[in-house]
Structure 1
């Protein structure tokens, strides 16, 4: 049975925004699994996502401290519809990323990461798919705030879609 995924990272609440965009909450309601690749900043978001999502797979990031580091791992792994999924916050510089990730995660099919706020979708020579959803709240040097959706089915990831959020009105 296909499993719908919502993939996000670098929410930085409440530093970069007071709340997640409503569109993202709508996707949380639709998703079977929510994946968060770190930099939550506020434990209240973790609590709310745990409450509102069917299943949550998340890690802490470099801006997460205290309770977030106690409750979230540095690396998370899950098998979803035969897809071996890993989640980390940082993978290092984009130069050499694919080689490093192949070496570090040879047992995975997909590795979701954050940190850069830059959307990324490549497949390494070893066949590992690397996904970064960007950020739904802090676009930095990107033209849009973003997140990803995907469907896991029959041992593969399908319909990976980068969603651009409209500009926020105020803060």
Structure 2
């Protein structure tokens, strides 16, 4: 049975924004599984995700300290509708990322990562799909913030959509 997903990372609330975009909250409420690749910054946001998400797969990021590191792993693994997911915040430099991550996560089909705030969707030679959903709150050098929706269905990841978050005015 198809499973709807939301992929996000680098939310940085309340450091970079007071709250998440309404569109992201709406997708979180509707999704079967939410994957967050770290940099929560505040445990209060994690608490909100745990209340609103049907199922949450997450890790801590380099800006997450104290209680967040106590509550969250550095790397998470989960199987969703026949797909083996790995989640980590940092993967290092973009150069040779696919080869490096394929070696680090040989048993994963999909790797969700963050840190750079730069949307990324590639596939390693061994078939590992690497997705960085970007950041919904801190676009850095990107034209807009982003998050991803997708569907896990019978061992396939389909309908992967990067959603643009308009800048707050």
Q: What is the TM-score with the length of structure 1 in the denominator?
A: 0.98
Structure 1 residue aligned with 2:114: 114
Structure 1 gap ranges (5+): none
C-alpha distance in 2, partners of 1:157/1:33? Answer: 13
Other structure's SS at 1:138 match: coil
> Are 1:60 and 2:72 counterparts?
no
Q: Once the two structures are superposed, what CA deviation does each residue of 1:63-113 show, in whole Å capped at 9, x if it has no partner? A: 000000000000001000000001000000000111110110110000000
* Residue 167 (structure 1) shift: 1.4
C-alpha distance in 1, partners of 2:28/2:103? Answer: 32
* Residue 166 (structure 1) shift: 1.3
Structure 2 gap ranges (5+): none
Structure 1 residue aligned with 2:145: 145
Other structure's SS at 2:24 match: helix
State the 4+ residue runs in structure 1 displaced beyond 4 angstroms. Answer: none
Q: CA RMSD in A?
A: 0.5
Other structure's SS at 1:161 match: strand
Structure 2 residue aligned with 1:4: 4
* Residue 127 (structure 1) shift: 0.5
> Are 1:157 and 2:143 counterparts?
no
Other structure's SS at 2:34 match: strand
C-alpha distance in 1, partners of 2:165/2:102? Answer: 31
C-alpha distance in 2, partners of 1:168/1:133? Answer: 19
Other structure's SS at 1:85 match: strand
State the number of aligned residues. Answer: 169
Q: Once the two structures are superposed, what CA deviation does each residue of 1:23-42 show, in whole Å capped at 9, x if it has no partner? A: 11000111000000000000
Structure 2 residue aligned with 1:101: 101
Structure 2 residue aligned with 1:124: 124
Q: What is the TM-score with the length of structure 2 in the denominator?
A: 0.99
